[in-house]
Amino acid sequence: MLRNLSRLGALALSLALAGQASAQTLKIGIVGPLSGPSAVYGTETLEGARFALEAAQASGALGSYKIELIPDDSAGNPGRAAQATARMIASDDVLMVIGGSTSAETQAMIEVTRPAEVFQFSPLAQATNLTQQGNKWFARLSQTADAFAGNAAIWAIERHKAKSVYMLVRNDNYGQSLAEAFGREIEAKGIKVAGRVAYEPAAKDFKPLLSTMGQASPDFVAILGLYTDTGLIVKQMGELGIKVPTYANTSPAIPQFIEIAGPASDGAYGALYYFAGSIDTAAGKKFVADWNAKFKRDPSQYEGMGYDTMLVLVEAVKKASAGGKVTRESIRDAFFKIADLPVASGNVSILPNGDVKRPLPFVQLKDGKLKLDFLLDK
């Protein structure tokens, strides 16, 4: 009898210890396009996050905690992103959610995470209004469209002496957000806006639009859209013989942009979320060296953002655990305490409204390779 009770006691103790061990696992949802035309945003962000997580857990940086990433494919569809988020919260009981990649899917996810009081951290979404909703359950690693495009306009004027700028704008929330900021800075500096034309995201033939642009004779062109449409525009500029310095947003770093645009892509400028080798710090150099050791190439801008997203999360877990139990509320509060954290893309600070302060690299695509044109760090 006593022996049986002893066995039962030992069993109960082992089950209790197992329960404690499982309680140390933090489930983190990550939602983004893993298939479809925008898959590069999601797959590369996920790869970078996994790379950082593997190193963090191997080093013991998380202490007694372990992070389990739970990915889901939005295919770039806002409805699917919202459904995946709801499922993660209800079925997987995630601590928080990383995502989305595009601004549209990020907003759809906010409609789920905000009422559920689950913190959401987006690696890539830029639409300025995402952090203008008084939502204390959301923050991001990417600069806003205002900051991204506004700084791009200043860069075009001050570094490339633009005097007459023509804007081609993707007709959605993302493109219009970029255009508002870009145009505002151009006009504030007294630079001529030679034209501002919106195009539909599904458009394929841009030659009539480009012919009109050519007649305006701008000395600088800004294409404010995604790599799919930007690639077609740049290709058709080449076919029409339009040779004007062109800012192509984040597209020059995306191999598919080069495939779409062909030889006309050579010389295109862009601003990137992250550019390998642009950050001359211990953290910046370590990431590039570690990534090259494993993959024999430099990391992409989205892999860099996924990596930094995980580093910020790891730091937040450390801050939350230092104050007690890691909960949905404490992890949220910890994110907003991130200040001057050294990561691959430079020092990162999460601002009170959920925006971020970090460097912004400008690049040029030349002979099929990217080179740093200027690093804005302010």
On whether the CB atoms of residues 317 and 65 are closer than 8 A, the answer is yes
| pLDDT for residue 18 | 42
On whether the CB atoms of residues 273 and 305 are closer than 8 A, the answer is yes
Nearest of 107, 37, 29, 110 to residue 76 by alpha carbon: 37
pLDDT above 70 (res 123): yes
Q: Which of 5-19, 237-251, 262-276, 348-362 has the lowest mean pLDDT?
A: 5-19
What is the distance between the alpha carbons of residues 365 and 149, in angstroms, rounded to a whole number? 19
CA angle 69, 74, 79 (to 5 degrees): 125
What is the distance between the alpha carbons of residues 123 and 309, in angstroms, rounded to a whole number? 6
Residue showing tokens 């058709």: 236
Strands 119-122 and 138-140: parallel
In the chain, the domains with their CATH numbers are 2-142+281-359 (3.40.50.2300), 146-272 (3.40.50.2300)
| pLDDT for residue 68 | 97
Q: Residue 226, CB half-sphere, CA atoms under 13 Å: how many?
A: 23
pLDDT band at 323 (very low <50, low <70, confident <90, very high): confident
Please provide the average confidence, as pLDDT, over all residues in the chain.
92
Question: Six-digit token pair at 130?
Answer: 């995402």
CA angle 186, 191, 195 (to 5 degrees): 75
What is the distance between the alpha carbons of residues 368 and 267, in angstroms, rounded to a whole number? 9
What is the percent of the chain where pLDDT is above 70?
Answer: 94
Q: What is the mean pLDDT of residues 104-110?
A: 96
pLDDT above 90 (res 320): yes
Question: Helix-strand-coil percent breakdown of the chain, rounded to 5?
Answer: 50, 20, 30
| pLDDT for residue 173 | 81
pLDDT above 50 (res 339): yes
Q: What is the mean pLDDT of residues 187-197?
A: 95
Q: What is the mean pLDDT of residues 268-292?
A: 96
Strands 66-73 and 96-98: unpaired
pLDDT tens, residue by residue, 25-59: 999 999 999 999 889 999 999 999 999 999 999 99
pLDDT tens, residue by residue, 165-174: 999 999 988 8
Q: Is 74 helix (H, G, I), strand (E, B) or coil?
A: coil
